[in-house]
Homo-oligomer: A and B are copies of this chain.
Amino acid sequence: MSLKLLAATLNLSITTVSRALDGYGDVAPATRDRVMAAAEAMQYRPNAAARRLRRGSTEVVSLVLPTGPGRFDEPLYLELMSVMGERFAERGYDLTLLAAPPGPDEMKTYRRLVEGRRADGLIVVRTRRQDPRIAYLLGTKMPFVVMGRSDTPGLYPFVDGDGEAAFAAATRDLAALGHRHIAHLAAPAALTYATLRRAGYERAMDELGLPRQVVECDADEQAARAACSELLAGAAPPTAILCATDRMALGVLRAARERGLSVPADLSVVGHDNLPAGAYSDPPLSTMELPLAETGDLLARMLLARIGGAPPDDTMQAIIPIRAVPRGSVAPPR
**Which of the candidate stretches A50-58, A236-244, A311-319 sits at the interface with the other chain?**
A50-58
Binary B-proximity of A126-137 (CB < 8 A = 1, otherwise 0): 000000000000
Copies of chain A in the complex: 2
Separation of A46 and B115 alpha carbons in the complex (Å):
8
Q: Which residue of B lies closest to A47 (CB)?
A: B117
Chain B residues closer than 8 Å to A81, beta-carbon distance? 72, 97, 99
Chain B residues closer than 8 Å to A46, beta-carbon distance? 116
Binary B-proximity of A58-85 (CB < 8 A = 1, otherwise 0): 1000100001111111110011011101
- Please tell me if the beta carbons of A47 and B116 are within 8 angstroms of each other in the complex: yes
Q: A305 an interface residue at 8 Å Cβ cutoff?
A: no
Q: A96 an interface residue at 8 Å Cβ cutoff?
A: yes
- Please tell me if the beta carbons of A82 and B78 are within 8 angstroms of each other in the complex: no
- Please tell me if the beta carbons of B68 and A72 are within 8 angstroms of each other in the complex: no
Q: Which residue of B lies closest to A77 (CB)?
A: B78
Separation of A116 and B50 alpha carbons in the complex (Å):
10
- Please tell me if the beta carbons of B99 and A96 are within 8 angstroms of each other in the complex: no
How many A residues touch B, CB cutoff 8 Å?
Answer: 52
Separation of A96 and B50 alpha carbons in the complex (Å):
20
> Which of B98, B112, B275 is in CB contact (< 8 Å) with A45?
B112
Q: Which residue of B lies closest to A281 (CB)?
A: B280
Q: A94 an interface residue at 8 Å Cβ cutoff?
A: yes
Which residues 85-116 in A have Cβ within 8 Å of B in the complex? Answer: 85-86, 94-99, 111-112, 115-116
**Chain A residues engaging chain B, CB cutoff 8 angstroms:** 1, 43, 45-50, 52-53, 58, 62, 67-75, 78-79, 81-83, 85-86, 94-99, 111-112, 115-118, 250, 253-254, 275-283
Excluding A68-B82, A95-B98, 20 further A-B contacts by CB distance (< 8 Å) are A1-B115, A43-B111, A45-B112, A45-B115, A47-B117, A62-B96, A71-B82, A72-B75, A73-B79, A75-B75, A81-B97, A85-B98, A94-B96, A94-B118, A97-B97, A254-B280, A277-B277, A277-B279, A277-B280, A281-B281
- Provide a sorted-by-A list of 19 A–B residue pairs whose CB atoms are within 8 angstroms: A43-B111, A45-B111, A47-B53, A47-B116, A48-B52, A48-B117, A49-B50, A49-B117, A69-B82, A70-B79, A70-B82, A72-B75, A94-B98, A95-B99, A97-B97, A275-B277, A277-B277, A280-B281, A280-B282
